[in-house]
Structure 1
Amino acid sequence: MTEHTLTVAGVAVDTRHWIGGERVASTETFPDVSPIDGSVLGEISRGTAVEATAAVAAAKASFPAWAATPRAERARILHAIADGVEKRLEELAIVETTDNGALLRSHRRGVMPRVAHNFRFFADWLLKLEHEDFETRGHTNHVSWDPAGPCVLITPWNAPLMLATWKVAPALAAGNTVVLKPAEWTPLTASLLADIAAEAGLPAGVLNVVQGYGSEIGDALTSHPDVRRISFTGSVPTAKRISASAAANLTPLSLELGGKSPLLVFADADLDLAVDLAVEQYDNAGQVCLAATRFLVQESVAEEFTRRFVEKAGQLTQGDPRDEATDIGPNIHPRQLEKIDGFVQRAIAAGARAVIGGHRGDGQYYAPTLLTDVAQDSEIVQEEVFGPVLTLQTFADEDEAVRLANDTRFGLAATVATGDPERAERVTAQLVAGTVWTNCFFVRDLQAPFGGSRHSGVGREGGTWSFDFYCDLKNTVTAPKGWQSHE
């Protein structure tokens, strides 16, 4: 390990920022700690307003040339980045597992392949992005997507590289330049992405990566007058601060925030399927914004559903995420673990019953938990826990199910289990959510709009919706052929 390099499972990671095509060190650092065993992986350059300003300046300087780069060339470079990701897939997987504690098998088989797919999808979508010309009184209307300028992308720790590239790929495809600010708890794969992008031929300054604490560097990024777009995934309180910071410049925002999504299980559902969907909500130790953390089960099947759920959840293995047999890894940080346990202990003190779990494990592990006897207006039902903690409530009929499902300030997702197609159509039409799954979960296609309603977010991204956000849409109106100027 050199002064500015740390090594994770034999993979060297530069700990400095990536600004204007060069590595830049800060005078101060912050520790990067693995949630698996609490070990310090290394010291990371701790950015300030100085590095933030330099990164925006680099993005601004490189913007004209990148914006003018033909679509086909931009797409070629994005495919080359995807090639680089696939070439280093195993390295990215082990580094991210060590950094954020998610399952290595998931990173190998799903997450890192999705990272490459993000670049390939938006590269290909760019080449077919068009709107059919239309006429108005003989005049031709032509819609185009013009690059907007430097973008600040602020990403979370629960799926660091996948969620970063979900933003980086369309922003670059659109012809914009980027300043990426990864979460301070999981900075490593963003650094590796900078290396991969440079090796793929992305021009200097088009992608910049600055590391540090949001409280120290965030405002300098989000309030900068040269920033043309801000995309953020994270908590509602942080989103409010970013919105206030961006307001002075009227900088457009895309915000993907928290969730408190329901899983509605009707008596006519396939209970084995419903239980499988329910147990899946422990994925990534419950650190998934889309997770259906509130089980709403029809009274007549609630007892049987609970029995089967307890049996199925009891088969899960919690432990080292690098082990192929592990189903649930650690939670990200001691502070997050304290938050999770606080939610659970307050709920139990208020009368909730822990059917399973309800306590910490060793280290940064929290036992998979299911709480019943919870009130609709209670904290545990209304607030996002972001850990392996689920609640179960019952309902009598369809109307009550919909009322309970919609009775939160969030609206990110919902899942419905029913054997009646007509009921599915009625219920899904009434649910307040950006995504609704019927008899399935976590089926995601980049062609689809993604985002949340209410406090779960602002805007939609995916497919053309991403280009609508990352571009300035222009309509050019041309008079009929043969027109003459009137001077």
Structure 2
Amino acid sequence: MKKHLYVNGKWKEAHNYLPLTAPYTGELIAEVAQADNQDVEEAILAAQAATRIMSSMPASERSAILERVADLIFHRQEQLVQLLSLEAAKPLKTARREIARTIQTYKFAAEEAKRIHGETVPLDAAPGGEGRFAFTVRKPIGVVGAITPFNFPFNLVAHKVGPAIAAGNTVVLKPAGQTPLSALVLAEIFEEAKLPAGALNVIPGRGSVVGEMLVHDPRVAAITFTGSPEVGIAIKNKAGLKRVTLELGGNSAVIIDKDVEISQELIDRCVWGAFMFSGQVCISIQRIYVHESLFGSFLTAFRNAAERLVVGDPFEETTDLSAMISANEVERIDSWVSEAVSQGAVAETGGKPLSSRLYPPTILTNVSKQLPVSCQEVFGPVVIVTPFVDLNKAIEAVNDSRYGLQAGVYTNDLRAAMRAAEQLHVGGVMINDIPTFRVDNMPYGGVKESGFGREGVKFAVEEMTDLKLICIKR
């Protein structure tokens, strides 16, 4: 089965196709078109031409298109869940959560399309400004280049495409190499929802071809990217005056202070935050700092809960974790864990691959903070648990990272909560919850090497619009 490019409202054959295999079984799913320079050129031309239609389209019509997209996804949700499980090895129950969030994200985008507005500016507040009336409006920025990762191929695409369409922009979308089918089926859905031809173009392909052209082409006004810091930093260095939004992952931590009850709810949240989708989540818990008085009881309960997780076939309803996205990821994680154990770390559970594609929930203690498994982004089902004595030291430990996406703090002390919220150098602080918490209308993004700019539909719309001042002299 061949899957083609989607350019200017039509399916376009490519010169080259690559096999796409299922991460869990290794079976061939499809042969996917790979865009070359000419294909990217056609996609940008189509998007540029469609800006005239989209920029003049009434907000009510943009909103209606996005509402129809949400409804179409709702009516096809089980089919889309199956597709997620096939191409990403996402367990069914995890895939259903993603599709539900994707529907919500497009609904938020439909609502925000009707809320894009400016404000009046009191020019007479400055001498010489008398007799003038001024106001601002937000105008669509133009062509948006969207580059998305494999781990949430429906919802993270929605966080880029939804706000772009809501704002009256057009999109050239480069999906992740392992999960292009989700983006291509989305093209079908937008077409059925009556989005004008050229407003959304989906072109799978190599980053060195598609990504490079989108970043360098002056007709592309903005780049929104989710991926590694190395690639994100390179994009920002090359993008010139383009608007750039970067979500670059993290090394998220949670602090559990001395006055907290080690409840089943807390344990369940930590297990979910650490091991959901095998830890292949930007805000997955990688580090847990527990007050020394609670360390033993927390570790025992956390280990027992992790060992109850089911690892296996993503199409089984009982499965909690399935295959990593590639065998190379299993090898990398295994090498990092093995290095830590060789230098004194203790694998409280897990620590060895179950197969070339399956890695079990792994809890490490006594890990040096300089090791890759601690200071880099594992992006796998591995979490480090460390005791602390003083909350200030725990906050310092969380901040001692090149990343700063989100952090969580469990405490019943309001002063401690506010101190942590103030001092943690991250994009979002979750009090009495894990850093993996995200709903789709909140501002989402990080500091340091975790990114630049903010997602969350309203905030993404602001990133994807230009502010224009209009001044009238009476």
Q: Which runs of 5+ in 2 are unaligned?
A: 125-130
Q: How does 1:72-87 map to 2 (within 5 A)?
A: 72-87=60-75
Alignment partner for residue 297 of structure 2, among 300, 304, 307? 304
Alignment partner for residue 439 of structure 1, among 403, 408, 432? 432
1:252 equivalent in structure 2: 243
1:337 equivalent in structure 2: 330
Task: Give per-residue Cα distances to partners, 1:96-147, cap 9 Å, x unaligned.
Answer: 1110011212222x21122122111111112123244242214222121101
Task: Give per-residue Cα distances to partners, 1:425-468, cap 9 Å, x unaligned.
Answer: 21121111112112223443333211011000001122432121
The Cα of 1:314 is off from its aligned counterpart by: 1.4
Distance (Å, rounded) in 2 between the aligned partners of 1:363 and 1:375:
27
SS of the aligned residue for 1:160 comes to coil
Task: Establish whether residue 279 from structure 1 lines up as the match of residue 271 from structure 2.
Answer: yes
Comparing 360-369 with 152-161, greater Cα deviation is found at 360-369
The Cα of 1:225 is off from its aligned counterpart by: 1.1
Comparing 37-46 with 137-146, greater Cα deviation is found at 137-146
Distance (Å, rounded) in 2 between the aligned partners of 1:90 and 1:447:
24
Q: Is the 8 A contact 2:254 2:409 kept in 1?
A: yes
2:267 partner letter: V
Distance (Å, rounded) in 2 between the aligned partners of 1:335 and 1:278:
26
2:115 equivalent in structure 1: 128
Task: Establish whether residue 322 from structure 1 lines up as the match of residue 315 from structure 2.
Answer: yes
Alignment partner for residue 405 of structure 2, among 408, 412, 435? 412
Q: Is the 8 A contact 2:94 2:277 kept in 1?
A: no
Q: How does 1:115-264 map to 2 (within 5 A)?
A: 115-137=102-124, 138-247=131-240, 250-264=241-255
Distance (Å, rounded) in 1 between the aligned partners of 2:37 and 2:340:
41
1:117 partner letter: Q
SS of the aligned residue for 1:271 comes to coil
The Cα of 1:474 is off from its aligned counterpart by: 1.1
Distance (Å, rounded) in 1 between the aligned partners of 2:10 and 2:238:
28
Distance (Å, rounded) in 2 between the aligned partners of 1:165 and 1:464:
13
2:128 equivalent in structure 1: none
SS of the aligned residue for 1:300 comes to coil
**Identity across matched positions, percent:** 35
Comparing 188-197 with 119-128, greater Cα deviation is found at 119-128
2:373 equivalent in structure 1: 380
1:269 equivalent in structure 2: 260
Q: Which runs of 5+ in 1 are unaligned?
A: 5-14
SS of the aligned residue for 1:329 comes to coil
Distance (Å, rounded) in 2 between the aligned partners of 1:262 and 1:139:
52
1:454 equivalent in structure 2: 448
Task: Give per-residue Cα distances to partners, 1:69-122, cap 9 Å, x unaligned.
Answer: 1111111111111111112111111011110011212222x2112212211111
Alignment partner for residue 471 of structure 2, among 462, 471, 477? 477
1:54 partner letter: E
Q: Is the 8 A contact 1:37 1:363 kept in 2?
A: no
Distance (Å, rounded) in 1 between the aligned partners of 2:293 and 2:371:
24
The Cα of 1:170 is off from its aligned counterpart by: 0.2
What TM-score does the superposition give when structure 2 sets the normalisation length? 0.95
Q: Is the 8 A contact 1:77 1:201 kept in 2?
A: yes
Task: Give per-residue Cα distances to partners, 1:13-66, cap 9 Å, x unaligned.
Answer: xx1110011111111111111111111212111112221111111100111111
Task: Give per-residue Cα distances to partners, 1:304-324, cap 9 Å, x unaligned.
Answer: 111111111111111111111
1:467 partner letter: V
Q: Is the 8 A contact 2:121 2:136 kept in 1?
A: no
CA 1:120–1:260: 2 relative to 1, 3 Å? same
Task: Give per-residue Cα distances to partners, 1:208-230, cap 9 Å, x unaligned.
Answer: 00011212322112111100000
The Cα of 1:277 is off from its aligned counterpart by: 2.4
1:17 equivalent in structure 2: 5
Comparing 414-423 with 366-375, greater Cα deviation is found at 414-423
The Cα of 1:379 is off from its aligned counterpart by: 1.9
Q: Is the 8 A contact 1:80 1:200 kept in 2?
A: yes
Comparing 268-277 with 402-411, greater Cα deviation is found at 268-277
2:462 equivalent in structure 1: 468
Q: Is the 8 A contact 2:118 2:138 kept in 1?
A: no
1:349 equivalent in structure 2: 342
Task: Establish whether residue 112 from structure 1 lines up as the match of residue 99 from structure 2.
Answer: yes
CA 1:372–1:443: 2 relative to 1, 3 Å? closer
The Cα of 1:292 is off from its aligned counterpart by: 1.7
Q: Is the 8 A contact 2:4 2:14 kept in 1?
A: yes
The Cα of 1:378 is off from its aligned counterpart by: 2.3
Task: Give per-residue Cα distances to partners, 1:180-223, cap 9 Å, x unaligned.
Answer: 10000111110100001001100100000001121232211211
Distance (Å, rounded) in 2 between the aligned partners of 1:411 and 1:353:
26
SS of the aligned residue for 2:314 comes to coil
2:46 equivalent in structure 1: 58
SS of the aligned residue for 2:64 comes to helix
Task: Give per-residue Cα distances to partners, 1:357-387, cap 9 Å, x unaligned.
Answer: 1110124110111111111222221100100
